[in-house]
Amino acid sequence: MQFYCSKAAAEALETRRKGKVESWLEATPAPEAASPWTWQLHAIKVARHNVFIVMERETRFAMVFWGIKKGDGDTLLKQFYERMVNLLLWINEDVSWLSDVGATAAITQILKRDRYSFTSGIDRSVQTHINDVAWACELAFHTNGCLPNPQDEAANFDMKTNNTLRSIRGGDYFTPFEVFFCSWVREYAGATPAQCDELALRFQQLRREQPMIN
């Protein structure tokens, strides 16, 4: 997984030990990873707590993490993989696309690619949508008096965020969780273009029958 970090994210991933600054960022930019997904990482402060926002560049699929100490990249990565897996399985259950065996195999393919790289740099278009998610975090805090519980409410918060229509540079509107799921079954479960078209139609049908997000 390749993570491009804003200045705020880079600072949130720094820690000081014995007077020396330690950072998770690579000293020199790593080559573009051979992966279908590239992520952009940003950090904000909500009620004096670090909140990390990660968004996939092409699908604009986002996840939000809080309660992580400054410089604790290990916890961030652990929660990143756990949340992503849980969300994909959640969507798969709703859409009834892959069997349990097929979904497990596709998840295993993700986890086999356990290499990661943090480097500086942002895409302004992605950052604009990250700023939208940051605003939603602020709103959730001011509405509820606290951030969503990481164990019980975080996945639901992410799903609501990813059920927001997005458009990239004036293109057609799309729903992030749908296109991210489609990219997963294409890249990690071997779905053909025709099957991806069929999956898109199934999402449309589900939206007509019942809202996937309450």
Residues 6+ apart with CB under 8 A from 24: 13, 14, 71, 73, 118
pLDDT at 150: 61
Q: What contacts 24+ positions apart, CB below 8 Å, involve 178-183?
A: 178/203, 179/58, 179/59, 179/60, 179/61, 180/56, 180/59, 180/61, 181/88, 181/91, 181/92, 181/95, 181/97, 183/36, 183/37, 183/58, 183/59
Cα–Cα distance measured from residue 56 to residue 174, given in angstroms and rounded to the nearest whole number? 14
Of the candidate ranges 24-33, 72-81, 103-112, 165-174, the one whose mean pLDDT is the lowest: 24-33
Q: How far apart are the first and last CA of the chain?
A: 31
Interhelix angle 176-188/73-95, rounded to 10 degrees, is 90
User: For residue 20, how many other CB atoms are within 10 A of its CB?
Assistant: 7
Of the candidate ranges 100-104, 131-135, 150-154, 163-167, the one whose mean pLDDT is the lowest: 150-154
> Is residue 31 predicted with pLDDT exceeding 70?
no
Collapsed DSSP state (helix, strand, coil) of residue 97: coil
Mean of pLDDT values over 132-154? 80
pLDDT (tens digit per residue) in 154-196: 888 899 999 999 999 889 999 999 999 999 999 999 999 999 9
| pTM for this predicted structure | 0.92
Cα angle: 80, vertex 25, 35; to 5 degrees: 55
Cα–Cα distance measured from residue 192 to residue 182, given in angstroms and rounded to the nearest whole number? 10
